[in-house]
Amino acid sequence: MTTGTRRSWREEIRQDRLISAQIDRDREAARTQAWITERRALTQLWQERKRARSAARLQARDRRAARRTARLAWVHAHVLDLLFVPVIVVPAVLAWTAMAACGSELYGPVGLMLPAFSEGAMWAFAIATTWTTRHYPDRPTWHLRLGTGVFAAVAAVLNFAHGMTAPPVGPGPHGVGVGVVMALVSVAGVIAHQFITAGPRRSRADRHQARLVRTAGRRELAVRRAAVRHAIAVVDEHGHAHLIYQPGTVTLGRRHLRTRLSRVRTAESVREPRTDDAAPDRTDRTDAGEATGQTAGGQPLPGGEVDRAAIVADLVEQIRDAIEAGERWQPDYPALMARTGFRRSWCEKAVRDARTAVFDAASGAPAIRTGEPDSGARTDPDSGARTDTPGPHGPDRTGRPVLHAVGSPSP
Tell me which residue of 91, 86, 84, 94 sits closest to 199, measured CA to CA. 84
* Alpha carbon distance 354, 359 (integer Å): 9
Q: In degrees rounded to 5, what are phi and psi of residue 267?
A: -65, -30
Residue-level pLDDT at 230: 78
- Is 268 within 8 Å of 329 (Cβ atoms)? no
| Adjacent-strand bridge partners of 255 | 258
Across 51-210, the runs of DSSP E, i.e. the strands, are: none
395 within 8 A of 401, measured Cβ to Cβ: no
pTM as predicted = 0.44
- Contact predicate 263/253, CB 8 Å: no
CB 312 within 8 A of CB 354: yes
Q: Which residues neighbour 366 within 8 Å (Cβ) at sequence distance 6 or greater? A: 360
Helices (H) and strands (E) in the chain, counts: 11, 4
Report the alpha-carbon distance of residue 166 to residue 104 in Å, rounded: 13
Q: What is the pLDDT along the chain (411 residues), one digit of tens a residue?
A: 566 676 688 888 888 888 988 999 999 999 999 999 999 999 999 999 999 999 999 999 999 999 999 999 988 888 887 888 888 899 999 999 989 988 888 888 898 999 999 899 999 999 999 888 888 877 888 899 999 999 999 999 999 998 888 776 656 667 788 889 999 999 998 998 888 876 666 677 887 888 898 899 888 888 888 888 878 888 888 888 888 887 878 887 777 667 777 776 655 544 444 444 444 444 444 443 444 444 433 344 444 457 888 898 889 888 888 888 878 888 888 888 888 888 888 899 999 998 888 877 766 544 444 444 344 434 443 433 344 444 444 434 433 434 433 333 333
